[in-house]
Amino acid sequence: MPKRDSFKMWGGRFEGKLSPEAEAYSYSLQHDVRLWKQELQVNAAYARMLGIRGLLSTHEANRLVDALLEIHTELEEGEWFPSDEYEDIHTAIEARLYEKVGALAGKLHMGRSRNDLIATEVRMWLRERTTNLARALFDLCQQLMQLAAQHKETLMPGLTHQQHAQPVTLGHHLMAHCWAFIRDLSRLAHAGDRMNLCPLGAGALAGTSLPIDRELLAAELGFAMPVPNSMDAVSDRDFVAEYLFVCALLMVHLSRLAQELILWSTPEYGYVELSDEHTTGSSLMPQKKNPDIAELIRGRSALVIGNLMGMLALLKGLPLTYNRDLQDDKPLLFATIDTVVPSVRLMTEMLARAQWRPERMRAALQRDFSTATELADYLVRKGVPFREAHHIVGQLVRECIQQGIGLEDLTLEQLQRHHPRFEADALEVISPERAVRARTLLGGTAPESVEQQIEQAQQWLAVIEHQLNELLNPN
């Protein structure tokens, strides 16, 4: 075995060494050490396959697997950890294996490359992280649905262009966010399908002439099937880019919800008070209660979007097959996962512990003209063309503004001056409660429609959960 301080997988052809600067520049152990469990799992599966195919004796295969299990225990219990003298996790574990079984460790690498190893291990690592992210997203969706059920009759202004538009319920508004996160979960499941192919056995790029069994390796490691093309197997990082896209869009959705919580917690809105656990004070102004966690979620969405852009830029000019540029996919991926999962969990906590102020939401509907469309629809039901009805109600609104009153302050006489088909019941449609309850159509804001949405959302989540379970628990 080479000396420990000079252990390389590739040194035979070289007389000189990398310069210290080049060595430091190419060093990746600080990132790929996260993959140690996957490295050991892949090595064990490969050793067993080599034994089954007769490329190792049963004794040799068992000895390798036992040694790999010992290394797993050492790492798990902190008895051994790769030092920074090794360039990557593959080198570190192979060197440790040499210490345990001697030259037999060198047989384990027959027919394979670090290229197909790393591609396999990143897919496995990401598959496991999918479980954590999916669980956090399910919890967030359940929290939103619980709040929606509680506030299916809590009235508030619905906005377009940040202007009061029509009355809605808080439950309806929260379900709009919930559906976005359900789409994120669905994208996560479909991205997982494309990720769940096994590169192992592709070698450096062309496969191997040794009689290895790629189907057996894929099955043992929980993949649906091997990657069909060995060149694509080692060069494909679409699964990383797609995962980063799912995370970036998820963070955009979190950022939009965070922005609303920030606005709604201001004195001008007063719709919600965020808990002390998710706010901070000012070092100068003692009265302040700042929505820092919501602001950090909003801000960190930019970092995740940046990681996606970095990944796409990393890939855009690479010829087939493997290029060392791909080493830098892992910092982008790891940083994204480290940001997204805590962001989802914190948003769930923030929503659960917030104090909502229904009376402030209802008060915001006073004299805001958000039931103007109800008056127009009233005239439509009386046979007036909508464009004419729209113009008539627009004149009514202008008159109210000039007089400093709201639609709810109008009398029947004032309405009839603008059109004779207004009758006494027209005064009733101006009520925000009436406007909300009238919208019982599928996807509407009426309480019964919100209940229907919650039922539909539960059904969608059950389907997605089944898809994810099939992906993550293939056996």
Residue 81: exposure state from Cβ atoms within 10 A (0-12, 13-18, ≥19): exposed
Catalytic residue among 19, 161, 209, 283: 161
The residues of the chain that CATH labels 1.10.275.10 are: 4-110
Catalytic residue among 26, 57, 83, 282: 282
Residue 420: exposure state from Cβ atoms within 10 A (0-12, 13-18, ≥19): exposed
Mapping DSSP onto H, E and C, the string for 184-240 reads: HHHHHHHHHHHHCEECCCCCCCCCCCCCCCHHHHHHHCCCCEECCCHHHHHHCCHHH
Size of the chain, expressed as the number of residues it contains: 475
pLDDT, mean of residues 156-170: 98
Residue 6 has pLDDT above 80, yes or no: no
Residue 4 has pLDDT above 90, yes or no: no
Q: Copy the structure tokens of residue 320.
A: 């087939």
DSSP element (H, E) containing 154? none
Residue 77 has pLDDT above 80, yes or no: yes
CA 35 to CA 128: how far, in whole Å?
11
The residues of the chain that CATH labels 1.10.40.30 are: 372-430
pLDDT reported for residue 2: 40
Contact between 321 and 205 under an 8 Å Cβ cutoff? The reply is yes
Residue 323 has pLDDT above 80, yes or no: yes
pLDDT, mean of residues 285-310: 97
Residue 389, CA distances (Å) to 368, 382, 384, 405, 420 in order:
19, 10, 6, 21, 12
Residue 209 is which amino acid? S
Q: What is the pLDDT of residues 218-242, one digit of tens each?
A: 999 999 999 999 999 999 999 999 9
Residue 201 has pLDDT above 60, yes or no: yes
In CATH, the number for domain 372-430 is 1.10.40.30
Q: Is 419 a catalytic residue?
A: no
CATH topology of domain 4-110: Fumarase C; Chain B, domain 1 (1.10.275)
> Percent of the chain, pLDDT > 70?
97
- CA neighbor of 378 nearest in space, from 386, 369, 366: 386
pLDDT reported for residue 1: 40
Beta strand 197-198 with 225-226: parallel, antiparallel or unpaired?
parallel
pLDDT, mean of residues 198-209: 97
Q: Copy the structure tokens of residue 339.
A: 């940001």
CB atoms closer than 10 angstroms to residue 16: 5
pLDDT reported for residue 84: 85
CA 189 to CA 468: how far, in whole Å?
6
pLDDT, mean of residues 8-20: 71
Residue 403, CA distances (Å) to 361, 363, 400, 407, 420 in order:
25, 20, 5, 11, 22
Q: Under DSSP, is residue 83 helix (H, G, I), strand (E, B) or coil?
A: coil
pLDDT, mean of residues 286-296: 96
pTM: 0.93
Q: Give the confidence band of 474 by pLDDT, cuts at 50, 70, 90.
A: low
Q: Is 59 a catalytic residue?
A: no
In CATH, the number for domain 115-211+222-363 is 1.20.200.10
- CA neighbor of 145 nearest in space, from 183, 185, 172, 169: 172
Residue 45 has pLDDT above 50, yes or no: yes
pLDDT reported for residue 16: 75
Q: What is the pLDDT of residues 97-143, one digit of tens each?
A: 999 999 999 999 999 999 999 999 999 999 999 999 999 999 999 99
Asked, as a colleague might, if the bond just before 339 is cis with ω within 30 of 0, I would say no
Residue 131, CA distances (Å) to 35, 232, 337, 467 in order:
16, 26, 12, 12
Q: What is the pLDDT of residues 342-395, one digit of tens each?
A: 999 999 999 999 999 999 999 999 999 999 999 999 999 999 999 999 999 999
Q: Give the confidence band of 3 by pLDDT, cuts at 50, 70, 90.
A: very low
Q: Give the confidence band of 25 by pLDDT, cuts at 50, 70, 90.
A: confident
φ/ψ (deg, to 5) at 355: -105, 115
CA 238 to CA 346: how far, in whole Å?
29
Maximal C-alpha separation, the chain: 100
